[in-house]
């Protein structure tokens, strides 16, 4: 839920997003126990979760190896923090304790490679769940771990809490696999170009992880994995390829990827299934969430950053207008009306007692600023 459903909920219903994060805080004690059972410090969130935060997945390998979920949880906390400025959740309601515990967990899983002079994360699962490559650090997971540590350090600084040197060192030296010669991110160390992959994985570095990379590398990642991703794989995959191509303004390529999502919708009630051949999970919320993100973050170009809600729209020639209402940002409600000629932003609601709409729209290239006032 943290990667696929949460961002849509956050942008339109931040109060519901807060409730999701409060659930994670309530189950933190279970996450502490999960980590201890792995011989680690901090907190590990389960692959399948219930009331206590303990692992309830019936197949042990997933609970043991799908540790990237813990990074996904912290990305959700970061997105909420950057979008709402709700410090109460972190200062008073347990958010900081969770952030700190996740950072401790990642650092306790780091192992130093004397040969490469960098850290690896031990025991991560890449590619197809359960296959023998379980101990190889996956690139997406490494990027998620790096983002977790950087966010934990940011929150500590915001609250005037000393940042542990261990966090800084691990974030600086963790290895995120990258092929400098071919200018792309291998799925894992030892990946051979052309080897099949199950689902969207490396392409998540560009979005939602927003791992720093050039447009050339972003394109190369998409080009590398699009033809080798399993056609009948999980439904959320093609929406992430669509977001990537929209980011690069390759609108037709994006449309061709997004259209694949419809293969996972079954009749007569339009129920989403995990795989396009009808197998896997039914009423597949992950696929629905990915599809919604292609619309909400793909066509609009919305990106949640440290200092702003960026937007850079792109949509096909047969669409002449896109309206998105109820976008929440720091307590304000915004309505975006986007055409090929202009973008209009209207503040429809401001937080009670706040100064009259302190928001501004800033043009990235010129730096020109436009105050946004309610009404």
Task: Pick the catalytic residue from 22, 41, 48, 129.
Answer: 129
Residue 358: its pLDDT value, please?
A: 78
The whole-chain average pLDDT of the chain stands at: 93
Pick the range with the lowest mean pLDDT from 59-68, 105-114, 251-260, 327-336: 59-68
pLDDT given for residue 133 in this prediction: 44
pLDDT of residue 127: 47
Active site residue 129: yes
Instruction: Answer whether 234's CB lies under 8 Å from 253's CB.
Output: no
Cα–Cα nearest to 210, from 108, 87, 82, 27: 82
- Give the Cα separation of 71 and 93 in Å (integer): 20
DSSP letter for each residue of 25-88: HHTHHHHHHHHHHTT-SS----SS--SSSS---SSHHHHHH-THHHHHHHHHHHHHHHHH--HH
Identify the band that residue 63 occupies on the pLDDT scale cut at 50, 70 and 90.
confident
- Which neighbouring-strand residues pair with 360? 371
Which tens digit of pLDDT belongs to each residue from 351-373?
887 666 579 999 999 999 999 98
Specify the pTM: 0.94
Residue pair 251/315 in contact (Cβ under 8 Å)? The answer is yes
Q: Please give the Cα distance from 273 to 298 (Å, whole number).
A: 22
Place of tokens 């937007």: 311
Q: Is the pLDDT of residue 342 over 80?
A: yes
Q: Is the pLDDT of residue 131 over 60?
A: no
In this predicted model, what pLDDT tens digit does every residue of 273-311 receive, in sequence order? Answer: 999 999 999 999 999 999 999 999 999 999 999 999 999
Beta strands 332-338 and 343-349 are: antiparallel
Q: Quick one: angle between helices 28-37 and 14-26, nearest 10?
A: 50
pLDDT, residue 300, reads: 97
Does the pLDDT of residue 158 top 80, yes or no? yes
Q: Could you tell me which of 49, 185, 61 has the C-alpha nearest to residue 125?
A: 61
Give phi and psi for 307, each to the nearest 5.
Answer: -120, -5
Task: Report residue 91 as tokens.
Answer: 């200062």
Query: What is the pLDDT, as a whole number, of residue 302?
Result: 98
Given a cut of 60, is residue 99 above it in pLDDT? yes
């Amino acid at each position: 839920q943290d990667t696929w459903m949460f961002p849509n909920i956050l942008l339109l219903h931040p109060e519901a997003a807060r409730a999701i994060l409060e659930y994670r805080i309530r189950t933190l004690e279970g996450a502490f126990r999960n980590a201890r059972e792995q011989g680690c410090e901090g907190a590990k969130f389960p692959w399948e979760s219930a009331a206590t935060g303990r692992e309830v997945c019936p197949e042990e390998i997933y609970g043991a190896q799908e540790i990237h979920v813990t990074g996904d949880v912290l990305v959700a906390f970061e997105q909420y923090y950057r979008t709402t400025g709700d410090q109460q959740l972190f200062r008073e309601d347990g958010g900081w304790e969770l952030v700190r515990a996740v950072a401790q967990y990642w650092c306790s899983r780091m192992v130093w490679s004397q040969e490469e002079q960098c850290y690896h994360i031990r025991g991560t699962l890449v590619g197809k769940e359960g296959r023998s490559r379980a101990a190889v650090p996956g690139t997406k997971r490494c990027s998620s771990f790096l983002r977790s540590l950087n966010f934990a350090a940011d929150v500590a600084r915001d609250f005037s809490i000393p940042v542990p040197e261990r966090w800084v060192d691990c974030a600086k030296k963790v290895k995120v696999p990258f092929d400098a010669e071919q200018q792309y991110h291998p799925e894992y160390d030892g990946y051979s170009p052309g080897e099949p992959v199950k689902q969207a994985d490396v392409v998540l570095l560009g979005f939602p992880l927003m791992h720093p990379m050039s447009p050339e590398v972003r394109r190369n990642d998409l080009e590398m994995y699009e033809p080798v991703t399993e056609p009948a794989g999980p439904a959320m995959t093609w929406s992430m390829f669509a977001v990537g191509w929209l980011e690069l303004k390759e609108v037709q390529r994006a449309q061709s990827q997004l259209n694949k999502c419809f293969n996972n919708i079954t009749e007569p009630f339009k129920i989403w299934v995990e795989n396009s051949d009808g197998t896997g999970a039914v009423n597949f919320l992950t696929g629905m969430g990915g599809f919604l993100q292609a619309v909400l973050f793909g066509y609009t170009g919305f990106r949640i950053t440290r200092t702003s809600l960026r937007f850079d729209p792109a949509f096909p020639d047969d669409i002449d207008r896109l309206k998105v209402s109820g976008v929440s940002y720091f307590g304000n409600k915004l309505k975006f009306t986007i055409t090929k000629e202009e973008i209009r932003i209207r503040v429809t609601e401001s937080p009670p007692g706040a100064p009259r709409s302190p928001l501004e729209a800033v043009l990235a290239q010129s730096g020109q600023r436009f105050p946004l006032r309610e009404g």
